[in-house]
Amino acid sequence: MHSERLLEHFRNPRNVGELQPPAEVVDVSNPACGDLLRLSVRFENDHVAEVKYQVRGCTASIAAGSALTEWMLGKSRIELKMLTTGMIEEALGGLEAASKHAAVLSIDGVKRLLSS
């Protein structure tokens, strides 16, 4: 059973869509479940000024993308490096064992962004 916070992010996802260039865009996937995440981010002075996401996946992955983008706004690249799966899980009010891949997908997206 999903938490109420997770369901709120799923029902009313924040920051959905895609930013136009010169935003940085990364795609990641989870080969085990097939979920896909696209992050598009615009930085100003090394801080996230704007962020959007698109997910093709389960309820938890959609909610995790929403929570991730809310957390990312205003963060520096250094702060982004500190993001953990536990922080995503906490923002969603917890994740069931079968849904923990959603937090991993979010982390993978941030790691790809920082390595691009």
Chain segment 23-41, per-residue pLDDT in tens: 999 999 988 789 999 999 9
The whole model's pTM is what? 0.95
Selection from 15, 7, 11 nearest residue 42 by Cα: 15
For the stretch 68-108, pLDDT in tens is 999 999 999 999 999 999 999 999 999 999 999 999 999 99
pLDDT at 25: 97
| The pLDDT of residue 85 | 96
pLDDT value, residue 31: 84
For residue 91, what are the contacts with CB-CB under 8 A and spacing of at least 6? 5, 67, 68, 70, 71
Determine the pLDDT at residue 116: 81
CATH class of 4-115: alpha beta
The predicted model gives 6-31 an average pLDDT of 96
Domains in the chain: boundaries = 4-115
